[in-house]
Amino acid sequence: MSECRREREPGERLGRFEIQERIGTGGFGNVYRAWDPSIGREVALKTCESEATSVRERFAREARLAGGLDHPNIVRIFDFQDVDPPWFLVQEFLDGEDLSTRLGGGPPLSDPDKFRILDETARGLAYAHGREIVHRDIKPSNLRLLSDGSIKIFDFGIAKWIGGDQSMTRPGVTIGSLGYMAPEQIEGGEVDQRADVFAIGIVAYELFAGHRPFPGEGIGELFQRILFDEPEPLTSVAPDRPAELDALVLHCLEKAPARRLSTADEFRVRLAEAARAAEAHPRVGPAGLSRKGIRGDRNDRFA
């Protein structure tokens, strides 16, 4: 195994950064919690363990796109090292846990928690879209619930700059994650911010219904359902949910982008209306969690 590919051990250094532990595996390599002695803070190092030119180009592209974003609901990129192997991103260390982990077995989230999670996700997306960046991989495992209750969008590995160089995304190529892809992604068509709106609609449905709107046993069945099936309304799955929330989610999940809710800002406006309706007619359920008390499905990705 080459030096570029082997896993780093605690105490080893990458540049000036001292490895503390491996905390995850990314699309291109590993993610480590590390210490930056120059500034005296913890950081996360995301490495590129591949020697393939196409993979390194995509990794560098992630650094350029995500590194230009500065928003409280998006992970911050501090630096990018592309001189000696392994290449790595230096980003803020995020405590808490992924939303997928919380949904997979943590304490139930209250409705106010769910509305806040969606609102903060939409805030981050609206900011990115305003800079012509589409994430293309919004899903619970790419949303981090921090210990203070806030949320961060991370992993811009397959993000797209609208109107920029499309050489990394050839026409007809499917890119995204199973279960959260918009129809145009599945078909390899042109993708804009409305694909992220579709994905946040799926996350919203999953939060309030307890499952995704398009179930499927395999890739073929899942894609068939996303492309041709209409989701069961939230009011059928969970009758105590407000009609405003049902209408919002169904609008997000329109098959044709032209009929879909257009922007994350529109999503936030409609979400606020649904939250007010829910507050006016509270449901019986688990006690709400305070912001301080919140802690934060890996799906195979096509890329």
DSSP annotation of 136: S
Question: Could you say which of 111, 113, 137, 155 is catalytic?
Answer: 137
Cβ–Cβ under 8 Å, residues 78 and 93: no
DSSP annotation of 142: G
Class of residue 89 by CB neighbours under 10 A (exposed 0-12, middle 13-18, buried 19+) = buried
Q: How far apart are CA 88 and CA 84, in angstroms?
A: 10
Class of residue 138 by CB neighbours under 10 A (exposed 0-12, middle 13-18, buried 19+) = buried
At residue 228, what are phi and psi to the nearest 5 degrees? Answer: -125, -25
Cβ–Cβ under 8 Å, residues 199 and 185: no
Active site residue 137: yes
DSSP annotation of 141: G
Q: Write out 218-264 in H/E/C secondary structure.
A: CHHHHHHHHHHCCCCCHHHHCCCCCHHHHHHHHHHCCCCHHHCCCCH
Catalytic sites, residue numbers: 137
